[in-house]
Copies of this chain bind each other. A is one copy, B any other.
Amino acid sequence: MARIAPLSGFPEWLPDGRVVEQHVLDTLRRTFELHGFAGIETRAVEPLDQLLRKGETSKEVYVLRRLQADPEAPDNDKQLGLHFDLTVPFARYVLENAGRLTFPFKRFQIQKVWRGERPQDGRFREFAQADIDVVGAGELPYHFEVELPLVMAEALGRLADVGLPPVRILVNNRKVAEGFYRGLGLDDVEGVLRNIDKLDKIGPDAVAALLEAECGATPEQAKACLALAEISGSDASVIDAVRALAEANGAVTELLETGLAELGALVEAAAVRAPGVVVADLKIARGLDYYTGSVYETVLVGHEGLGSICSGGRYDTLASDGKNTYPGVGLSIGVSRLVSRLLSAGLVRATRGVPTAVLVAVTTEEERAASDAVAAALRSRGIPVDVAPKAAKFGKQIQFADRRGIPFVWFPGGDGGQVKDIRSGEQVEADAATWEPPAQDWWPRVVPAV
């Protein structure tokens, strides 16, 4: 067999890492379900022309070919590619099933996606995403733009007890930015946003120069754009600051006021429901070229260099069939990026890598059925149990459990047997029909690693 080596960009976890990932996935799913999101899955492939509709992502797509497709005969199959996100497939699913769904339709979707990008720390070619979206038929009230980031804040907050650092959800609003720029007299909104997005990389002076050179801004207009980008905060004062800046620059527009009312409602609701988590940050420009209202990015506090772990926004046209338009708002968690950091930075660990709470020892191979019977009795009450693979010396069987982190070893005998906590050495008589492990030992748990 050829030498086996990992493939760069295609992460896999050992069993104890998978316990961590599974806990994250279970927690997200449960939170989404508590908020009434229905779970769906879509196929991994979409027609290539659908994947390339937006143009900009073409370089990331993996195209499929059947190895035995006849190269001589015209290929009857539509050309297919692997999906690179869960938004494009969801939009297609909504159109395909519009007559069978009820709107507004709230769905969550947890699946792998694929991008042929160069792998880097936190950037993979195959990774899991967890998305929530609400899509309306024709209309979608603004309050969903307030609720969805709060659902994500709650979902991520439920991971704090296992060692997830606090998150900060940065929000902005396309209407605020566009209203402000247009009020200033700058109509190349996309151009301004594109350059503002470079602030962290090249600094304010270079951005100002680009705004003047590329977007026709005067030095005063450029300065006002930079001043807007500096505003951030987690209460209503941020709205006042933007309005004051707009007034000072004669940049108040109706669009700006609409955007400020929306952003203000979000910040206010967040201050009550997720204090300290949501921050209005007027510097956020990424995504504002295609989102039409709110936009969200999320950083792990202390791990800002990892980039956003949960992003999204509002689309006035998530999907459209020409006759009907489906506006949507949603966010997507980069689960693999998050889990990869949790594991590589040693933030969390699983208490064990196997589900097993109890190993039933086997006295002799002839008596294996007695051990199987004990295991069946425990399992019937929901206790995860394994039976020793071999009737080796008990010391070896205890070692088997110890190596896997299995806390209890059961020695069958008579009517029940004895169960030993191999951490403390304590051994007691027990009845397989009634004995239970302590709650904290029942299933593997995910705990802070420190």
Contacts and interface: CB of A to CB of B under 8 A. Distances in A.
Contact of A321 (B4, B102, B356): B4
B45 A10 contact: yes
Contacts of A404: 102
Contacts of A269: 369
Contact of A355 (B36, B41, B389, B443): B36
A12 interface: yes
A61 B64 CA distance: 10
A15 B107 contact: yes
Interface in A292-337: 319-322
Majority DSSP secondary structure for residues of A touching B: mixed
Contacts of A372: 273
Contact of A1 (B102, B320, B443): B320
Interface residues of A, number: 96
A43 B389 CA distance: 29
B65 A63 contact: yes
Contacts of A50: 2
A37 B355 contact: yes
Contacts of A390: 141
A356 B65 contact: no
A384 interface: yes
Contact of A36 (B4, B33, B82, B386): B386
Contact of A61 (B67, B272, B353, B356): B67
Given A62-B66, A116-B66, A14 B141 contact: no
Contacts of A18: 38-41
Contact of A43 (B107, B126, B354, B379): B126
Interface stretch (A89-97, A201-209, A229-237, A243-251): A89-97
Interface in A401-442: 403-404
Contacts of A39: 15, 18-19, 22, 355
Contacts of A344: none
A58 B67 contact: yes
Contacts of A365: 143
A159 interface: no
Interface of A: 1-2, 4-7, 10-15, 18-19, 21-22, 33-45, 47-50, 58-69, 78, 80-82, 92-93, 95-97, 100-102, 104, 106-107, 112, 114, 116, 126, 136, 141, 143-144, 269, 272-273, 319-322, 353-356, 365, 368-369, 372, 376, 379, 382-386, 389-390, 400, 403-404, 443
14 contacts: A1-B319, A4-B95, A7-B45, A10-B43, A13-B40, A15-B101, A19-B38, A36-B355, A36-B386, A38-B353, A38-B355, A59-B66, A63-B64, A67-B116
